[in-house]
Amino acid sequence: MGELKKNYTTLKQIQTDLNNQLTTCESLVLGYLDNISKNKHLNAFNEVFEEDSIQRAVKIDKKIRSKKAGVLAGLIVGIKDNICYKGRRAEASSNILKDFVSSYSATVVDRLLSEDAIIIGRLNCDEFAMGSGNENSSYGPVQNPIKTNYVPGGSSGGSAASVKANLCHLALGSDTGGSIRQPAAFCGVVGLKPTYGLVSRYGLIAYASSFDQIGPIGKSFEDIELITHVISGKDNFDTTCIGKKMSIKKNINQTKKTFAIIEDAVNFVGLDHEISKEFDRFVSTLKKNGHKIEYVKLPLLEYLVPTYYILTTAEASSNLSRYDGVKYGFQRSCEEIDSLITKTRTEGFGPEVKRRILLGNFVLSQGYYEAYYKKAQRVRTLIKNQTEEILSRHDYILLPTTPNKPFKIGDTASPIKRYYEDVFTVQANLSGHPALSFPLGQTKDGFFASAQIIGKYFSEPELIQIAKNISEY
């Protein structure tokens, strides 16, 4: 096995070395495989596609030599274990999908492959993408590469940890309530939740379909931009995917912008003081650089988390009803079909998934439907309207990505406390807006304080450029 000669920040740097024959896809793959085997303790991968990626690398090296390679040649990428790749297992880190082999590839996977990316493995995550610490996984917790007794965030914890530890150059995650942005923040890398409808969900194992979006976690804004460009755009297999292919804009109008800061978010009682300090420092540099900052109210802030959990658990209870031991994966055989289903689901799902299925069934049940589900749908519309209204008066909404720094693996907190980790991230999922998280600076213990900017629907080309620009202050 080879060693990676360099730590690349951008795909462009990799491609420059490839074109100058300073490296090959094969040696890159061998280098990443070496990093993966040296970092097994992180538990970031549920499976490594070793043979497969070496073989693909050899083919792509040939294409590079004959100048026929796609725009992602040289990109070694990991995919979250809830994204299907034909002929490979896709388990969403759940026992109920143990050894389930996908018969088709997700649209995002097809698009990556058609541009000659190499998929090196499937990444650990919270079971069915439900969690904030990657501890709810049938494969066990993932360690944060910055400090290994801390969580990397969740649910795309394996994705963020593997990018940070250089086990792959870039990773795909999914974000239903923050699962790309929060782990990106906990590991000090960049993560984008695209506008709902920009990226196809075909082949993504569903958690809450009206919230779920696939997006990239990477080391640079440049890569985030290119990957989003490649994976975005209409797809006949997903009728909610209505956005055009995201363009890559070269000359974005870099005039001064207005940023709306949600007052209740920065005054949030649970906001960590180091994150708050870094955020304030960032806001003053924005001002110094001529941008306009305005403090605004989001009267529904306290309803964000409850609304998110009522609606996502309702959708999850419906989506997860298909795992009955008959159609997919794991089965506990019994003579009676009812006991087969009960036993399979009892043993197949982990405790957090069960909690959410129960909660979802409760809020959808006759008698409670009006009081919970229907009311939450109405509140969602209000949140969407209030967010749109803020974005009609300001270019962006700016807020910390997370209220807290990473917590210790095994730290027991009540589910409600954990759910409040999502207080700043769920707004963009409830409203469908794009949101990009990026590190601001390091905290004393070596972690990072991150901010996220939320932009107008389908404004990703500008959003990424502006974030790149302001993050350099």
Which residues are at the interface with ligand GLN (CB under 6 A)?
A: 129-132, 155, 174-179, 207, 312, 422
Q: How far apart are CA 29 and CA 51, in angstroms?
A: 10
Q: Is 244 helix (H, G, I), strand (E, B) or coil?
A: coil
Residues counted in the chain: 473
- To ligand GLN, the closest distance from the beta carbon of 81 in angstroms equals 12
- Of 22, 106, 117, nearest in space to 63 by CA: 117
Between 325 and 403, name the residue whose CB sits nearer to ligand GLN.
Answer: 403
Between 173 and 348, name the residue whose CB sits nearer to ligand GLN.
Answer: 173
Between 186 and 259, name the residue whose CB sits nearer to ligand GLN.
Answer: 186
CA distances from 235 to 108, 245, 356, 432 (A): 10, 10, 30, 18
Between 150 and 259, name the residue whose CB sits nearer to ligand GLN.
Answer: 150
Which residue blocks in 66-129 are alpha helix, DSSP H?
107-114
Between 15 and 137, name the residue whose CB sits nearer to ligand GLN.
Answer: 137
User: Angle at Cα 398 formed by Cα 393 and Cα 401, nearest 5°?
Assistant: 150
Between 131 and 145, name the residue whose CB sits nearer to ligand GLN.
Answer: 131
At which residue do the structure tokens 């740097």 appear?
Answer: 13
User: Angle at Cα 125 formed by Cα 406 and Cα 328, nearest 5°?
Assistant: 155
**List 132, 137, 155, 317, catalytic entry:** 155
Which run of H or of E encompasses 440? strand 435-442
Name every residue whose Cβ is closer than 8 Å to that of residue 255 and which is 6 or more positions away in sequence: none
- Of 252, 243, 239, nearest in space to 215 by CA: 243
- To ligand GLN, the closest distance from the beta carbon of 207 in angstroms equals 6
At which residue do the structure tokens 């996984």 appear?
Answer: 137
Q: Which residue is nearest to ligand GLN (CB)?
A: 179
Any catalytic annotation for residue 156? no
- To ligand GLN, the closest distance from the beta carbon of 326 in angstroms equals 26
Q: How far apart are CA 210 and CA 196, in angstroms?
A: 8
Between 50 and 352, name the residue whose CB sits nearer to ligand GLN.
Answer: 352
- To ligand GLN, the closest distance from the beta carbon of 172 in angstroms equals 13
- Identify whether the C-beta of residue 80 lies closer than 8 Å to the C-beta of residue 108: no
CA distances from 437 to 67, 219, 311, 334 (A): 35, 12, 24, 48
Q: How far apart are CA 159 and CA 151, in angstroms?
A: 13
- To ligand GLN, the closest distance from the beta carbon of 157 in angstroms equals 11
**List 27, 80, 200, 220, catalytic entry:** 80
Looking at residue 146, what DSSP letter applies?
T
- To ligand GLN, the closest distance from the beta carbon of 353 in angstroms equals 10
- To ligand GLN, the closest distance from the beta carbon of 471 in angstroms equals 23
Any catalytic annotation for residue 80? yes
Name every residue whose Cβ is closer than 8 Å to that of residue 328 and which is 6 or more positions away in sequence: 96, 97, 100, 322
**List 138, 179, 431, 437, catalytic entry:** 179
- Phi-psi sector, 411: left (phi>0), alpha (psi -120 to 50), beta: beta
Between 177 and 348, name the residue whose CB sits nearer to ligand GLN.
Answer: 177
Q: How far apart are CA 182 and CA 151, in angstroms?
A: 11
- To ligand GLN, the closest distance from the beta carbon of 419 in angstroms equals 7
Q: How far apart are CA 318 and CA 113, in angstroms?
A: 32
| DSSP annotation string for 386-404 | HHHHHHHHSSEEEEES-SS
- To ligand GLN, the closest distance from the beta carbon of 212 in angstroms equals 7
User: Angle at Cα 374 formed by Cα 370 and Cα 375, nearest 5°?
Assistant: 90
Any catalytic annotation for residue 137? no
Between 244 and 408, name the residue whose CB sits nearer to ligand GLN.
Answer: 408
Q: Which residues are catalytic?
A: 80, 155, 179
